[in-house]
């Protein structure tokens, strides 16, 4: 047990129990709530990080909300019938003999109770007040426990934590860089790291063998519920390993983190190929907590006369007992599907009299019967169908599935999934060159090496893998290419000439020449992991001082202009706003 006593206090408020009865204690904390009963009796709930204790004081004290107090008094059992079972400390109370007001306080800008959902900007502007709330205290603790457990697990597995620089060279790949002007070399810039990717691979060449880092990463892209400019990663790389070895290391670490927070070890993590994830869940980050899995109906319409279904793929989902979903709602869903990229949405209600749908008349009896059989549909069910290219049909059905069935993050348990065998390329650029799905150093599947440069390059599988938790992409990794001829083959397939390659990744390619061990790695987004484990839908709730969606910090006012002298020293000028 940690000893929390200091020169100013003997105990923490929330720690007092029936065993402490008879002790004289000194406590420090904030006035959470007070209940006055006239001149001679008042109850003050005193709050610190550990919780709340009822203090009995003389009513003459002027103790307002959020005053900071030091209270000395005797712990005693509460009188008959007045124990509070809703409070961990509810069996006892402290009868104050001395109350020192350490600081007075204005009324807080918003209520600190758990019942009110306060405007987030207001919370962020007064984050120091917001952080006093039990929810935030808990989230900060969850976060600290996650990182501590992960550090422990990585150390246990023999990994060495190596720090990498924050001021790095800008590279054209990937996300937009945050950039720092160089004073010594005006006109030149450092970039803040999007990830330690290149450095961690260099540690492999440096013989580190098992590298990890709890690393801050920065990307200047638009913010979302699961994305901030700055975020933390567990960054991992190891030599003389397969992808499976890496997944075992990472599973250990996230398992330890989950156990540290919830008390339960999540157990073995299931694996699923990317193809299967797309086919069954319409997403590369499948949320397997609920059903509504995608059904492939392409075969049924192989020779259909219904023009809308004369597509490479027809996919759908069966909504059990969904037939009572209103026409209005169905129109809404159709609109969403169009926004997501589909040409439309076909809905069918299965009634006693068969399929009820605006398009039923275009479908043959065989097709209708085939649908009912394939979806195992029952009277009262609703079928939703999207016909398109395979990827679009999967994508749209996947979003539809989430829209209709996704439970709150606190429900349905925690389900980690490895998604493996990602495609090496995810499409083609304007010049007709394939675009790497992960990065250009990702090792292709050995069996698919022969397809490089061929006609069906999108079918090439890579040794890249993602870790998914309840539909959140927690992280990704891959086996890296360490053989020169393979790297040359891939760069050639990407349409990158040797000269261009040297210009863009020269120092890494150089490093490959001096003896590169086979290596593979991974990175886990710690903010996301923490959010899911804390039961929060938004990573801002597990970050002490986050930014708003527009990238501003309501507390400090960042970003702010800087003065002209400062700019001049850096050799910078600011353009007038456009328009």
Partner RNA sequence: GGUCCUGUGGUGCAGUUUGGAGUGCACGCCGGCCUGUCAAGCCGGAGGUCGCGGGUUCAAAUCCCGUCAGGACCGCCA
Interface ranges with RNA (CB under 7 A): 33, 35-41, 43, 45, 54, 56, 59, 64-65, 78-79, 81-84, 86-87, 90, 93, 107, 109-111, 113, 115-122, 173-176, 194-195, 197-198, 219, 221-227, 339-340, 435-440, 538, 540, 548-550, 552, 554
Q: Residue 216 or 227: which CB sits closer to RNA?
A: 227
Cross-strand pairs, 36 = 42
* Residues in the chain, total: 579
Minimum CB separation of residue 204 from RNA in Å reads 15
Q: Tell me how far, at minimum, the Cβ of 198 lies from RNA, in Å.
A: 7
From the CB of 571, what's the least distance to RNA, in Å?
A: 26
C-beta of 501: minimal distance to RNA in Å?
A: 13
Nearer to RNA, 101 or 359 (CB): 101
Three-state DSSP class for residue 435 = strand
- CA–chain centroid gap for 506, Å, is 33
Phi-psi region at 68: left, alpha or beta (left = phi > 0; alpha = psi -120 to 50): beta
Of the candidates 519, 272, 280, which has an alpha carbon nearest to the alpha carbon of residue 420? 272
Residue 93 or 381: which CB sits closer to RNA? Answer: 93
CB 172 within 8 A of CB 166: no
Q: φ and ψ at 235, to 5 degrees?
A: -105, 130
- Residue 433 has phi, psi (to 5 degrees) of -90, 140
Q: Which is nearer to RNA, 63 or 300 (CB)?
A: 63
Shortest separation between residue 93's beta carbon and RNA, angstroms: 5
We find the least distance from the C-beta atom of residue 569 to RNA, in angstroms, to be 28
In which element (H, E) is residue 25 found? strand 24-36
* Interatomic CA distance for residues 176 and 187, integer angstroms: 18
Burial of 21 (0-12, 13-18, 19+ CB in 10 A): middle
Q: What sign results for the dihedral spanned by CA atoms 161, 166, 168, 174?
A: positive
172/207 with CB nearer RNA:
172
Measured from the CB atom, the residue of 102 and 379 that comes closer to RNA is 102
CB of 184 to RNA, least distance (A): 26
CB closer to RNA out of 94 and 372? 94
Characterize 158-195 residue by residue with b for buried, 16 or more Cβ atoms within 10 angstroms of its Cβ, and e for exposed: ebeebebeeebebeeeeeebbeeeeeeeeeebbbbbbb
At its nearest, how many Å lie between RNA and the CB of residue 151?
A: 23
Q: Which C-beta is closer to RNA: that of 322 or that of 398? A: 398
Task: Please list, residue by residue across 513-535, b when 16 or more beta carbons sit within 10 angstroms of its beta carbon and e when fewer do.
Answer: eeebbbbbbbbbbbbbbbbbbbb
Distance set, CA 95 to CA 1, 14, 33, 60, 110 (Å): 26, 15, 16, 15, 29
232: β partners: 216
Q: Which bin fits 496, alpha (ψ -120 to 50), beta or left (φ > 0)? A: beta
Rounded to the nearest whole angstrom, what is the least distance from the CB of residue 95 to RNA in the complex?
7
Instruction: Decide whether 111 or 358 has the Cβ nearer to RNA.
Output: 111
Nearer to RNA, 149 or 490 (CB): 490
Distance in Å, CB of 439 to RNA, minimum = 4
Any idea which residue has 């090439």 for tokens? Answer: 460
Taking alpha carbons only, the member of 207, 175, 205 closest to residue 193 is 175
């Amino acid at each position: 047990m940690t000893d929390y006593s200091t020169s100013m206090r003997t105990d923490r408020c929330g720690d007092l129990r029936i065993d402490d009865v008879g002790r004289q204690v000194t406590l420090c904390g904030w006035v959470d709530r007070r209940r006055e009963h006239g001149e001679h009796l008042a109850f003050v709930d005193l709050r610190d990080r550990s919780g709340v204790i009822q203090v009995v004081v003389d009513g003459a004290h002027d103790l307002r909300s959020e005053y900071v107090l030091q209270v000395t008094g005797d712990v005693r059992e509460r009188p008959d019938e007045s124990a509070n079972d809703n409070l961990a400390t509810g069996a006892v109370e402290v009868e104050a003999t001395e109350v020192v007001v350490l600081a007075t306080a204005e009324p807080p800008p918003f209520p600190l109770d758990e019942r009110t959902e306060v405007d987030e900007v207001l919370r962020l502007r007064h984050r120091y007040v917001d952080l006093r709330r039990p929810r935030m205290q808990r989230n900060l603790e969850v976060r600290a426990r996650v990182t501590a457990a992960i550090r422990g697990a990585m150390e246990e597995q023999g990994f060495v934590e190596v720090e990498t620089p924050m001021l790095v060279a800008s590279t054209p790949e990937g996300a937009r860089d945050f950039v720092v002007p160089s004073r010594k070399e005006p006109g030149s810039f450092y970039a803040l790291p999007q990830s330690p990717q290149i450095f961690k691979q260099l540690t492999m060449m440096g013989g580190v063998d098992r590298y990890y880092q709890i690393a801050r990463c920065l990307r200047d892209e638009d913010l979302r519920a699961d994305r901030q400019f700055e975020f933390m990663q567990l960054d991992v790389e190891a030599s003389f390993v397969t992808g499976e070895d890496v997944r075992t290391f990472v599973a250990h670490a996230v398992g330890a983190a989950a156990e540290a927070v919830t008390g339960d070890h999540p157990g073995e993590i299931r694996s699923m190929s990317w193809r299967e994830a797309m086919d069954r869940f319409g997403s590369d980050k499948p949320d397997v907590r609920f059903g509504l899995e995608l059904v492939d109906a392409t075969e049924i319409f192989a020779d259909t006369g219904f023009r809308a279904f004369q597509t490479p793929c027809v996919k759908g989902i069966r909504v059990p007992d969904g037939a009572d979903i209103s026409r209005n709602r169905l129109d809404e869903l159709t609109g969403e599907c169009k926004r997501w990229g589909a040409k439309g949405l076909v809905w069918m209600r299965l009634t006693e009299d068969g399929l009820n749908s605006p398009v039923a008349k275009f479908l043959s009896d065989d097709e209708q019967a085939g649908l009912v059989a394939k979806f195992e549909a029952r009277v009262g069910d609703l079928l939703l169908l999207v016909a398109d290219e395979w990827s679009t049909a999967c994508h749209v059905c996947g979003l539809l599935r989430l829209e209709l069935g996704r439970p709150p993050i606190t429900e349905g348990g925690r389900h980690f999934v490895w998604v493996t065998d990602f495609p090496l390329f995810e499409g083609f650029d304007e010049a007709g060159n394939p675009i790497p799905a992960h990065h250009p150093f990702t090792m292709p599947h050995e069996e698919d090496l022969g397809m490089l440069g061929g006609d069906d390059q999108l079918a090439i599988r890579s040794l890249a893998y993602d870790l998914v938790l309840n539909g959140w992409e927690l992280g990704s990794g891959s086996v890296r290419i360490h053989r020169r001829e393979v790297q040359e083959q891939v760069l050639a397939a990407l349409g990158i000439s040797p000269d261009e390659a040297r210009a863009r990744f020269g120092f890494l390619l150089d490093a490959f020449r001096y003896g590169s061990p086979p290596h593979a790695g991974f990175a886990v987004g710690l903010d996301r992991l923490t959010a899911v484990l804390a039961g929060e839908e938004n990573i801002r709730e597990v970050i002490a001082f986050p930014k708003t969606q527009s990238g501003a910090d309501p507390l400090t006012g960042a970003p702010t202009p800087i003065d002209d002298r400062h700019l001049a020293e850096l050799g910078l000028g600011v353009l007038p706003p456009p328009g």
